[in-house]
Amino acid sequence: MIKSVINIILILFCCTNFLSAQDELSRQLNFADNLFEEGLYFDAITEYKRLLFFDENKKYDFDINYKIAVCYKKGAKFDESIKYFSLAALSAQNEEDKFEINLQIVRLNILRKTTGRSLQLLNDLETKSNYSQKKEINYWRGWTYMFDDKWDSAAVYFNMVDYDHELKNIANRVENDKYSVTFAKVISYILPGSGQFYTGNYLSGIMSLGWTAIWGYLTADAFIDERVFDGFAIGDLLFLRFYRGNIQNAEKFAVQENIKISNKALRYLQNNYKGIKP
Amino acid sequence: MLNSNFIKSILIVFLSAFAFTNGQTNDIFSPQNRLKFGNSLFYQKDYLRAIGEFKSYLNSENNDTVKFKMAFALSQMGRHIEAEDNFKGLFFTPDLSEEAKLEYFKSNFFRNDSKMFLQLINNSPFIPEKYERNINQLKQISMLTEENSIPDTNEIKNLFSEIEKIELMKFYFRKVNPEMKSPETAAWLSAIIPGLGKIYAGEIGDGITSFLFTGVLSFLAYDNFKADHKFRAWLFTGLAAWFYGGNIYGSAAAAQNYNAGVKYGFDNDLKIYLNSKNYYLPEYEFLNK
Amino acid sequence: MIRLIIIILIITAVSVNAQTDWQRWSAEEISYELKQTEKSTSNFYGSGFISSSVSALKNTYKFLISDLDGDNCPFHPSCSNFFQQSVYETNIFQGALMFADRFTRDLNIFKKGKYPQYKSGKYYDPVNNYKLSANEIIIIPSNQIVNQ
């Protein structure tokens, strides 16, 4: 009887120790996850890597590589993040996981502003996607175009997601608020300083108009008095210089104002938008 | 029956022992497991994390190889002063003393202060016997990079192979006979003919521009004096004088920039060559285990 | 086989990029905002009479002329900034000669390949290289881009 009890205890002891190996990995995963939740991403990566190293059965490969990638993303280490997402993709079990990973890589490309690459990846994804996935692809296309400062294209793609999508309305508003750079340049060709007036830079506009008027008059006066050399000298070195400068400034101010308008919208998206962001 | 009971008992005892030891190694924070994980990180060049694991391991165990790896990792990350302190701690160990001394000097070398390195070598009693040749090679290399030193050609012939000797002697001759330009000569040439000093310093486009511009201003000054336009004449005279002075100054500066470029080119070429040779330093098998 | 190649490439790339983790880092928020076009710098140099006079002259020139005649200087720092910085770091006479030399170099139409590029696309031509002080010369290969 006693012998049987001892045997049972010893057998239970064996089983417990074999099972504790798996418990150890689970505990390690919890530990690493806690570090992640606390925002200690560098340390979380250390513990995730430790788990990967001791996970001989590769049970946690996908999840851990995914989490390491997210940690690197939080630290703005985009290259490393993409690499670990790629590693996670290699151990993905199903198509949904692979799709999710690819979207994560798209989001990273949006954040690091390699928008060309982002669009290329989305185009590749679209060829293999189903209807609901296409909506997600268009959603991220919209974000890509917003980061690329192409708000009209962004509005088109958000419209495909939902006719009344909040981001579509924002994109349309930005596009309407922006100044036309071409228009600013054209009116500056016709009337120096008008491009600056169009964008609200009144002092610059008045001074541009003044200088081009003065040097234009002096150039004409020189030619009328048959002082050809003086006419060319004043015309080329002074009149044309300020005339060209006026057109450059018209373009520069329009571009600067447009960037301000875009940044206002992007700041709202970063700080106040409640939907899914890159 | 006795036999089957006996066999069962042996089996259970054996399984228990196995399970017990397995339980010990299941603790992934055990010193041994920390060492394994640390080695894996070290191999991946994730040195900061590897150092953390090695430190934890060394809290409970004493292992000179691990201490060496820690110091090596610090050196690889550019934390040379800390690396040197760690290597010093291994100078009197039985197995890695020579390697530690070599790495100590190597770490000091990579602080990129040739003068300090040469002083250290000349005064240090810790030159490793096993790697004395490597240290002397580093010394000659330092003399190539240090501004006021010239390597010993006999030492170069003794310390390096034929092919290496040929390459190093090329650098030696470049150091001894650098093709420098004299700023004073450049200035005088530009004083005689505006722009000539810049051409001497290798700036042909700038030299021609200088010549033409100073020439045009001088002509305008002359022309206006001839036409009795006094104000314009003096204006162009002043401008011509100013830009003439600027041309002389700029020629001297161009010669100095040329010389700085020659030195930069030398240092860069030498660095590329030495990197390709791993600075004639050995690699350690035990670091990959 | 392809999977193996991809794994090897990724692991190699991870090893090469382990340098990212050679220093502890913490979470970083990436701004969504677009980069503003670089405004021309207008640093105030020095408190002496001559430096202040040069600064005042330069600011007046900037307001009345430079801000209106377009982006004509292909160099960074711009010629007016170069002059101001030269006077501050040397003296008015040396600064004037440095400016004259800079202006002449600006007239050279064959500048490409001679100077490294600044991040704004202009040629990087710092004052340090023309102070006749060999120790202060900054040599940067012409194929590099200067970000500072």
Q: Is C76 helix (H, G, I), strand (E, B) or coil?
A: strand
Asked if residue C31 is part of any domain, the answer here is: no
**pLDDT for the residue C55:** 85
Q: Is there a domain that residue C115 lies in?
A: yes
Q: What residue in C sits closest to A242 (Cα-Cα)? A: C69
Residue carrying the six token digits 């670091």: B287
Would you call C101 and B253 a contact, using CB atoms and an 8 Å cutoff? yes
Q: List C-alpha distances in Å: B139 to A79, A125, B88.
A: 40, 58, 20
Residue A171 has a pLDDT of 97
In chain A, the N- to C-terminal Cα span, in Å, equals 67
The pLDDT of residue B19 = 54
- Which chain A residues are Cβ-neighbours of C72 within 8 angstroms? 241, 245
Chosen for mutation from C7, C12, C32 (greatest number of chain A CBs closer than 10 Å) is C32
CA distance B23 to chain A (A): 5
Q: Which of B41, B42, B256 to mutate to test the interface with C (most CBs of C within 10 A)?
A: B256
Query: What pLDDT is stored for residue A29 in this prediction?
Result: 94
A272 is written with which tokens?
A: 């106040």
**Cβ atoms of residues A136 and A143 within 8 Å:** no
Q: Is the pLDDT of residue C46 over 50?
A: yes
Smallest Cα–Cα separation from B103: which of B122, B123, B119, B89?
Answer: B89
Residue A14 has pLDDT above 80, yes or no: no
More reliable by pLDDT, A271 or A9: A271
Q: In this structure, what token pair is assigned to residue A33?
A: 């996850």
Between residues B285 and A40, which one has the greater pLDDT? Answer: A40
Q: Is residue C37 part of a domain?
A: no
Evaluate whether residue A195 is within a structural domain.
Answer: yes
* C64/A207 Cβ within 8 A: yes
Asked whether residue A230 is assigned to any structural domain, the reply reads yes
Domain boundary among A93, A113, A146: A93
- Judged by CB atoms closer than 8 Å, whether chains meet at C21 and A45 is answered as yes
Please report, rounded to a whole number, the percentage of residues in chain A having pLDDT higher than 70: 92
CA pair distance B27, B31, nearest whole angstrom: 9
Return the domain boundaries, chain B: 183-260
Mean pLDDT (chain A, rounded): 92
Q: What is the pLDDT of residue B147?
A: 80
Phi, psi of B283 (to 5 degrees): -105, 150
Task: Give the domain-ending residue among A42, A66, A93.
Answer: A93
Which site among A35, A38, A42 would you substitute to test the C interface, given the most C Cβ atoms closer than 10 Å to its Cβ?
A42
Give residue-wise pLDDT tens across range A128-145. 888 778 999 999 999 999
Q: Which residues pair with A233 in a beta bridge?
A: none
The reported pLDDT for the residue numbered C136 is 93
Mean pLDDT of C29-43: 76
Q: What is the pLDDT of residue B123?
A: 85
Degrees to nearest 5, angle at CA B116 with B112 and B119: 140
- H helix count then E strand count, chain A: 14, 0
C28 occurs within a structural domain: no
Nearest one of B186, B214, B190 to B201, comparing CA atoms? B186
Q: Is C73 in contact with C62 (CB distance < 8 Å)?
A: no
A269-278, B244-253, C4-13, C18-27, range with the lowest pLDDT? C4-13
- Domain presence at residue A224: yes
Chain C residues closer than 8 Å to B206 by CB = 104-105, 108
Residues of chain B with pLDDT under 50: 1, 24-25
Q: Which residues of B touch A10 (CB under 8 A)?
A: 12-13, 15-16
Phi, psi of A26 (to 5 degrees): -65, -40
Interface partners of chain B (CB pairs < 8 Å, 3 or more) are A, C
Q: Do C108 and B47 touch (CB under 8 A)?
A: no
Taking alpha carbons only, the member of C57, C53, C103, C56 closest to residue C78 is C103
Q: What is the structure's pLDDT at B287?
A: 82
In a domain, C77, yes or no: yes
Those chains having 3 or more beta-carbon pairs within 8 angstroms of chain A are B, C
C3 compared with B72, residue with greater pLDDT: B72
**Cross-chain CB nearest to B12 (options A10, A16, A50):** A10
Domain count, chain A: 2
Tell me the average pLDDT across C39-43: 57
Asked if the structure places residue C141 within a domain, the reply is: yes
Q: Which residues of A touch C32 (CB under 8 A)?
A: 147, 266-267, 269-270
Q: Per residue in A151-190, pLDDT tens?
A: 999 999 999 999 999 999 999 999 999 999 999 999 999 9
Question: Mutating which of C108, C111, C131 best tests the B interface, going by the most B Cβ atoms within 10 A?
Answer: C108
The stretch A95-117 carries a mean pLDDT of 94
Percent share of chain A, pLDDT over 90: 82
Report the alpha-carbon distance of residue B198 to residue B181 in Å, rounded. 11
Among A75, A93, A111, the domain boundary falls at A93
Task: Give A-chain residues touching C6 at CB under 8 angstroms.
Answer: 86, 90
Query: Do residue A42 and residue C64 have CB atoms under 8 angstroms apart?
Result: no
Arithmetic mean of pLDDT, C27-54:
77
Segments forming the whole domain that contains residue C104: 73-148
pLDDT tens string B28-86: 899 999 999 999 999 999 999 999 999 999 999 999 999 999 999 999 999 999 999 99
Of A50 and B155, more confident: A50
Q: Kindly state the tokens that stand for A183.
A: 């228009």
Q: Per the domain annotation, does A227 fall within a domain?
A: yes
- At C52 the pLDDT is 84
Q: How far apart are the CA of C74 and the nearest CA of chain A, in angstroms?
A: 14
pLDDT of residue C16: 46
Q: How confident is the model at residue C14 (pLDDT cuts 50, 70, 90)?
A: very low
Domain that holds residue A57: 20-93
CATH number at residue A43: 1.25.40.10
Count how many domains chain C has.
Answer: 1
